[in-house]
Amino acid sequence: MTQLPIIDFQKFLTGNESEKRKVALQMRQASETIGFFMLKNIGIPSSEVKQALQTAKRFFSLPAQVKQDLAWQSAQSNRGYIAVRRETLDPTQKADLKEAFNLGTQKTELDLSDPAKNKWPASQPEFRQNIEPFISQCTEFSFQVLKALAIALDLDENFFCDAHDQQQHTFRLLHYPALAENEGYDNHEKRAGAHTDYGSITLLFQDDIGGLEVKAKTGEWVSATPTENTIVVNIGDLMQRWTNDVLSSNPHRVTQPSQSRDKDRYSIAYFCTPNRDQIIESVATCVTPSQPNKYEPVTTQEHMEARLNRAY
Ligand code: CA
């Protein structure tokens, strides 16, 4: 495999049952092998993706103190600003050359029993105006992807959607600063160290700079080459566990391609997370005599906190 499969999502959104299933099975095949694929025709206009990336760019250009006032505080809330080198995705390497800003969905904002609240930059009212509707679009789209995976696994089509109905997802803006020569960065350092994602699925919008690589089961790194009007989707650890290793959560990293390491890279990730109290146990269609159940049940919360505490 030299590049990620590109799957047309249009027929899943508008087609009949058999057309939907065909798209879903393509997604399953990619999820079983490399754990990543790209989708085109996802129903979110590219102009809105571009606007969200522009909003991210404006946010990260704010003075350091303004961003620091919105700092990330705990794994439990997992919201706020994370400075360059604050996070180490690969604990065997130096900390990551990236900064990030995490937000939650509107549904969790409105939930009075949920103490985690978004930290909106007060001096930038247009930030919230642009980003809040975009988060909602990501949520709607994520439900379509979860539906497709359920269909592909012969589950009730709402199986995963129901388990995510509290929408405890993390929306994350990312900025990988331009790496000028002679600033003490080593060419071999990663913009983001090799890691797997923690949750169920991740959606990723990336600009055209490149650098994202995915480790195939053969051990080779495959470039997730930026492709216009596509979104990258990948399987996270929780989904791998939930499907008894049928779907695969593959390691990935962000490198510094020599032709673009002196440029800033921006991306937006949407980490889908099942409801906190959801018990994650191998789904029945993924347990067979040749593939017996490998995992004890765990709640989403137990799994996520263990993973987050390792990266900070
Ligand atoms: Ca990731």
- Residue 252 CA to ligand 1 centre (angstroms): 7
The answer for residues whose C-beta is within 8 angstroms of residue 193's C-beta and 6 or more apart is 88, 89, 90, 92, 93, 96, 253
- The values of phi and psi at residue 11, to 5°, are -70, -20
| pLDDT for residue 27 is more than 90 | yes
DSSP string covering 264-308: -EEEEEEE----TT-EE---GGG--SSS------EEHHHHHHHHH
Strand 230-235 vs strand 252-254: parallel, antiparallel, or unpaired?
Answer: unpaired
Which tokens is 268 given? 């937006």
User: How much distance in Å is there from the Cα of 232 to the middle of ligand 1?
Assistant: 11
**Mean pLDDT on 279-308:** 94
**pLDDT grade, residue 109 (50/70/90)?**
confident
274 vs 242: CA distance, rounded Å:
11
Distance 289 CA to ligand 1 centre (A): 33
Rg of the chain on CA atoms, in Å = 19
Q: Alpha-carbon distance 12 to 16, whole Å? A: 8
Ligand 1 centre and the CA of 16: distance in Å? 33
The stretches of 178-253 forming alpha helices (DSSP H) are 237-242
Structure tokens at 48: 């809105």
CA of 38 to the centre of ligand 1 (A): 14
Residue 267 has pLDDT above 90, yes or no: yes
| CA 20–ligand 1 middle distance (angstroms) | 27
Residue 163 confidence (pLDDT) above 70:
yes
Per-residue pLDDT tens over the stretch 178-202: 887 666 667 677 888 899 999 999 9
> In Å, how far are 107, 256, 276, 299 from 279, measured between CA atoms?
21, 39, 9, 4
Task: Report yes or no: 305 and 298 within 8 Å, Cβ to Cβ.
Answer: no
